[in-house]
Structure 1
Amino acid sequence: MTNETLQQKYFSAQCLAQLNENIADIKSEVGVSFEFFPPATSAMEETLWNSITRLKTLEPKFVSVTYGANSGTRDRTHDIIKDIRSKTGMVAAPHLTCIDASETELRQIARDYWENDIRSIVALRGDIPEGEANPHMYSTDLVKLLKEEGDFDISVAAYPEKHPEAPNEQFDLDVLKSKFEAGANRAISQFFFDAETFLRFRDKCIKQGIEGEIVPGILPVSNYKTLVKFAGLTNVHVPDWMHKLYQGTDNDPMTRNLIGATIAMDMVKVLNQEGVKDFHFYTLNRSDLSYAICHSLGLRPR
């Protein structure tokens, strides 16, 4: 038996032991949801549907599909959402932004979703293209518009470490409160890597009178270098201990995956012990890590 094979067996045994320990610590039933993005190639589409098929067995509360600020990507999102709904029966929630569409177009999109039995939407402002003026609508306006068109189940975004464009923390909390007052059903947080970051944010929301559910967004990390770049753009702090854990793993994807799964498992365990019952996973269209973490939450295929 080679050293590499022995190492794989050792890490697999460690991971299984961690899973069993975490399962024992979960004290209540939990709910999960998963986020995907539209594939750009046929190979990526196959990966997406393989992931959807596998994660469907965990009976998520809903799955969401993102899109960028252009009509081509938006159309792919619409098609995928309708396919997920018709082929799997799962609750499918498209992302909808108001950055690149008029009020009339947004109402047409909402009506089309309603007529196709799509009743859940993730309502976002969207990223403002560089050099362009402020948008004509914001996420709060979009929530109001959707509620006028139908009794949609609406998720919005929350930022435990403050939105990059927010002038201060209080402004960010005020915006979140306005989205709930406009009719949002829940907020899904930006990803984070310290459970205390989310718990402190939740406490601040309560003090502001924000009573809606705040669902933590969990990003299992498989590509650390990409994460660091993305975190820098989204105002997400990457702790020093994460840098140390991933050192020397550039050419070792198996170890990176085990580290990423373990970090996420530890976070959901702590959050669950603090009363969090729902978790939203940013899957990056791959099922392995999210599936393993859900296993640690006690979820089983049905």
Structure 2
Amino acid sequence: MSGFPVAPARSSVKTPVISFEFFPPKTEGAARSLQQTVATLAGFAPEFLSVTYGAGGTTRDRTLATTAEMVRQGVGPVAGHLTCVGATREDVNAVAQEYWAAGVRHIVALRGDPGTPGSRFEPHPGGYAHAADLVKGLKTVADFEISVAAYPETHPEAVSPQKDIEYLKAKLDAGATRAITQFFFVPEAFLRFRDRAVAAGITAPIVPGILPIANVAQAYKFAELCGAGIPETLRATLDGLDAHPEARAMVTTALAAELCRTLLAEGVEHLHIYTLNRAEPSYALCRLLGVMPALQA
């Protein structure tokens, strides 16, 4: 009697290192929800959990409070974002000192976006001129681990893709440990960018930013704002899914997992997940990638 057919062996792909990104809550209800999300995702023992800093520094107090609470809760290494928009060096350094006092040892250093949507960045007369300048300044405040941003499909204000790469190298040469990319939906966008970065002499890790889509219309809006390309074939798959939430969750999680597996097969070791403060999409993605919660590992 013949047995069941044997499935072909899956290709060996190393389980990735994971980090998560959150934004500071605006209400007490949102804060309680975030606490539950963080508790759920912290079970995956992430490399770090980061908290964003709003455009123009608008979430300064909420960001500081959220990061301090996460440190107090002992959920894992916490990284606070910090920008130099609309602030003096002294003001920025004071925030960095508050981070250090709260137990935060890792900063995601960004130039940041102006508080008024659509306006161009103008350095504060007494502030840091750009992110590379900010990285240098933070190193004089304390011995922070520092991550910076990278843009696989080129920063919207960059003169050219090559100049964008050169500026990334300047940020890393100033003392940053790694670069975390803006999200993207096509693996080739990251892989080509990584090749150009290596050719430019960049040796620091470049961590791909992954956005599990929880709402298609919202994802389209985010992509338009940051210049992330969405191929027509992907749009055809996504269009109309918001009317079918359960199907949307299955389809978008599968797409995110497919993207991540392609990156892992190309040697990527660390994935940074933009959670949008939702636990389930990131939880499902981690499980599909073989990253298990500590209690079930």
Pairwise same-fold verdict (TM > 0.5):
yes
Task: Encode CA deviations 1:68-127: one digit per residue, 9 max, x unaligned.
Answer: 135551100000001001112411111100002210011111122222221100000111
1:95 matches 2:87: no
Kindly report which structure 2 residues correspond to 1:1-302, keeping only aligned pairs within 5 A, or say none.
Answer: 24-70=10-56, 73-128=59-114, 129=116, 130-131=118-119, 134-136=122-124, 137-302=129-294
Question: Structure 1 residues 71 and 195, CA, compared in 2 at 3 Å: closer, same or farther?
Answer: closer
Q: Which amino acid letter does the alignment assign opposite residue 25 of structure 2?
A: P
* Structure with the bigger percentage of helix: 1
**Larger deviation: 81-90 or 186-195?**
81-90
Question: Structure 1 residues 103 and 260, CA, compared in 2 at 3 Å: closer, same or farther?
Answer: same
SS at match of 1:155: strand
RMSD: 1.7
Aligned length: 281
Cα pair 2:113 2:121 within 8 Å, conserved? no
Q: Which amino acid letter does the alignment assign opposite residue 280 of structure 1?
A: H
**What runs of 5+ residues in structure 1 fail to find an aligned partner?**
1-20
Question: Structure 1 residues 133 and 192, CA, compared in 2 at 3 Å: closer, same or farther?
Answer: closer
More contact order relative to length (CA 8 Å, sep ≥ 6): 1
Task: Encode CA deviations 1:245-274: one digit per residue, 9 max, x unaligned.
Answer: 123323111111111111110011111111
Cα pair 2:38 2:75 within 8 Å, conserved? no
Q: Which amino acid letter does the alignment assign opposite residue 253 of structure 1?
A: P
Task: Encode CA deviations 1:134-181: one digit per residue, 9 max, x unaligned.
Answer: 214211111001111122111100000000011111110111000000
Distance of 1:131 and 1:166 partners within structure 2: 15
Cα pair 1:26 1:272 within 8 Å, conserved? no
**What runs of 5+ residues in structure 2 fail to find an aligned partner?**
1-6
Task: Encode CA deviations 1:20-57: one digit per residue, 9 max, x unaligned.
Answer: x9x95452132100000011122222221111010011
Cα pair 1:93 1:118 within 8 Å, conserved? yes
Aligned to 2:4: none
The CA deviation at 1:186 is: 0.4
